Structure 1
Amino acid sequence: MASFSFPKDIQSSLPLPAAKLPDGTNMFQWKGIMLSPQLLQAAITADKHFSARSTDIFVASYPKCGTTWLKSLIFSIINQHSLNQEKESPNPLLSTSPHDLIHNLELEVYSMDPIPDITGIPSPRLFSTHHSYGSLPESLKHCGCQIVYITRNPRDSIVSFWHFTKKFSYHGLEYLSFEETFERFCEGALPFGPFFEHVLQYLKASKEMPEKVMFLTYEEMIADTKGVVKRVTAFLGRPVEEEVEKIVEMCSFEKLSNLEVNKSEENTSKRRYPNNVFFRKGAVGDWMNHFTPEMIERLDHITQQKLQGSGFEFRFD
């Protein structure tokens, strides 16, 4: 990874390196977020060339905050005709990873590939992103498309991210101890960090443009999945009152995690990691098995400082 070189047309747009990953790869701060070279190249390319439509729908999140679950829900809501699990019309979620049904703009669509032709994708096009609101492609922010954002309490986010990086090779992050991952999270020196600024930007956008940006938390989805699904369908203008039960059941952690496609160690798309890395516990409160009292005190102090005046609080149970 450290030997990566940017194409000539990208080099003039490069910021100065801001940090290093464990394998020596430079991390760059771009529009307020931290990106590896490959992700920076994809971000710059998407910023220049992605042409958003008003009918596009985006799933937005900081990594490991409920992305997989929200993707499956959004896909099911938009593709109600595919809910029938009969042989003649099987639900694609039964045989396809949610990440292969809604592709990530920077990790897949624009990462390390020539500029893709995505103009032929019928509307509504479904994409996902880990970018902060401020670092989204300009056309996306101004086209009037809809964004559903999900966040998660920072304690569980750190734990989930650390376990995720233990399962595959990604820029040397698998060599980080939990303590080192915690430090980098607090410093905002993980890919797509800093976390709290990420959350606050989407929270602000959801208050200013409630018809365009919806703000959700993983914890409220756990507590009231049916209620959240109904809210999302109303936000997207896709009422599915009679299908809510089917959607909730099909997209449950128990259902998705036990499907063969999601237990597979194979990589079924352009992603660099296998399908099974996306499912571990799907629970709230696993941080209690990893955090020391000192870690809780430090992160709580940072959380209170960052969220002061926002009117938003995380739930930790």
Structure 2
Amino acid sequence: MSTSCEEKKFSLKGNFADEDEELLQSLPKQKGWGAYDLLLFQNHWIPPLYLKATHFQAKPSDIIVASLPKSGTTWLKALAFATSKRNCFIPISQNDDHPLRHSNPHSLVPFLETIDLYGNDPNNVSFPHLSTLSEPRLFGTHIPFPLLPGSIHNSNCKIIYICRNPFDAFISLWHFKNNILSSQSLLPELALEEAFEKYIEGIFDYGPFWSHMLGYWKASKDTPNKVLFLKYDELKANTYFEVKRMAQFMDCTFSEEEESGGVIDAIIELCSFGKMKELEVNKSGKGMLKADVENKYFFRKGKTGDWANYFSPYMTEKLSKIMEENLGGSGLSF
């Protein structure tokens, strides 16, 4: 990126002024995986629509679920919502009217990136208005840590970050993007090899993956009371333990009575991939994202290791090398 772009005071932390339109035009641009280009801002490839500043004002009790796309975001949103809201919505009954039984997790935990697009429209009944959300408020984001709104950095709100093995994350993202392209007839589907070359160059929404992960990883080490770092594979392998750890981090620790009464198990069951995938809202509904994405595309397999069915020896070697070059020595490994 040019020095002039770096020197200009422009960030998602502040307000987006008219004169910054010129800066947007000066940022490096690359074709994304879909119908829009990506802009390189502070070493991350960001969709232009989400590069403009959000006016989000964090509260100390807010909980932010952060991730790269297709890294376990939907599952973590569901778990965080069910855990933090269990006093309002009891998850243990199979016949209750829990919001997760009739709402997609992305509707219950809206993305910060879409608040300015949809959240200020009083006529939009499908998107929750900020004034109607009970505390703790939960939000999701794919925004890199350095670019988060200043109110998040400067408040005591909590951030829960989930990352996924880059091998599996790539395959999941490739399927997701192609499902969108196919359903909307926007462009021809993206070939696996073409998508892979973009991925290892870091050219995809909010990439590169190594910079995104390391931003939150380092923040979790520097401020462990502020940022909790989770790995998708570990959450899959020991969900009970990780949900307990997440509850403690959110200051809503499970009591002994809740544990013995099966509350944690009920939350895990309620938020399980199989349960959520079979809900009508997740089979036919649509979410409030830029591309108006069908909810069913958020539930493909939910497994680990599926990458082995797609990767060639070249791809395996290349991605392994990229990970070692960029993550080696950081303490973050997969």
**Which amino acid counterpart does residue 61 of structure 2 have in structure 1?**
T
- Supply the distance in 2 between the matched residues of 1:151 and 1:8 (Cα, whole angstroms): 35
SS in 1 for 2:40: strand
- Supply the distance in 2 between the matched residues of 1:20 and 1:114 (Cα, whole angstroms): 30
In the TM superposition, residue 23 of structure 1 has moved relative to its aligned partner by: 6.5
**Cross-structure match for 2:318:** 298
- Supply the distance in 1 between the matched residues of 2:185 and 2:36 (Cα, whole angstroms): 7
**Cross-structure match for 1:256:** 276
**Cross-structure match for 1:131:** 143
The C-alpha deviation readout for 1:202-240, integer Å capped at 9, x for no partner, is: 000000000010000000011000000000001111122
In the TM superposition, residue 293 of structure 1 has moved relative to its aligned partner by: 0.6
- Supply the distance in 2 between the matched residues of 1:171 and 1:94 (Cα, whole angstroms): 31
**Cross-structure match for 1:27:** 38
**Cross-structure match for 2:13:** none
Between 1:31-40 and 1:297-306, the stretch displaced more is 31-40
The 1:140/1:7 distance shift into structure 2, 3 A limit, reads closer
The C-alpha deviation readout for 1:153-174, integer Å capped at 9, x for no partner, is: 0000000000101211389676
The 1:299/1:18 distance shift into structure 2, 3 A limit, reads same
The C-alpha deviation readout for 1:13-69, integer Å capped at 9, x for no partner, is: 4242321236674321123321222222xxx231xx221111110000000000000
The 1:128/1:281 distance shift into structure 2, 3 A limit, reads same
Between 1:168-177 and 1:178-187, the stretch displaced more is 168-177
Q: Is the 8 A contact 2:217 2:229 kept in 1?
A: yes
- Supply the distance in 1 between the matched residues of 2:331 and 2:34 (Cα, whole angstroms): 39
Q: Is the 8 A contact 1:33 1:135 kept in 2?
A: no
- Supply the distance in 2 between the matched residues of 1:115 and 1:222 (Cα, whole angstroms): 38
| Residue 161 (structure 1) aligned with residue 181 (structure 2) | no
**Cross-structure match for 1:3:** none
The 1:303/1:171 distance shift into structure 2, 3 A limit, reads farther
1:178-217 aligned within 5 A: 178-217=192-231
1:108-119 aligned within 5 A: 108-111=114-117, 118-119=130-131
1:251-290 aligned within 5 A: 251-264=271-284, 266-269=285-288, 272-290=292-310
| Residue 228 (structure 1) aligned with residue 248 (structure 2) | no
Q: Is the 8 A contact 2:63 2:136 kept in 1?
A: yes
What are the ranges of 5 or more consecutive residues in structure 2 without an aligned counterpart? Answer: 1-15, 123-128
- Supply the distance in 1 between the matched residues of 2:328 and 2:303 (Cα, whole angstroms): 27
Between 1:16-25 and 1:213-222, the stretch displaced more is 16-25
**Cross-structure match for 1:37:** 48
**Cross-structure match for 2:66:** 60
TM-score, structure 1 normalization? 0.88
SS in 1 for 2:130: coil
The 1:270/1:295 distance shift into structure 2, 3 A limit, reads closer
**Which amino acid counterpart does residue 93 of structure 1 have in structure 2?**
L
| Residue 239 (structure 1) aligned with residue 249 (structure 2) | no
Between 1:120-129 and 1:135-144, the stretch displaced more is 120-129
TM-score, structure 2 normalization? 0.83
Task: Figure out how many residues of one structure are paired with residues of the other and give that number.
Answer: 301
**Cross-structure match for 1:121:** 133
What are the ranges of 5 or more consecutive residues in structure 1 without an aligned counterpart? Answer: 1-5
CA-based RMSD: 2.4
SS in 1 for 2:53: helix
The 1:144/1:260 distance shift into structure 2, 3 A limit, reads same
- Supply the distance in 2 between the matched residues of 1:121 and 1:229 (Cα, whole angstroms): 23
**Which amino acid counterpart does residue 273 of structure 1 have in structure 2?**
V
Percent identity reads 40
- Supply the distance in 2 between the matched residues of 1:98 and 1:211 (Cα, whole angstroms): 25
The 1:278/1:174 distance shift into structure 2, 3 A limit, reads farther
- Supply the distance in 2 between the matched residues of 1:137 and 1:61 (Cα, whole angstroms): 15
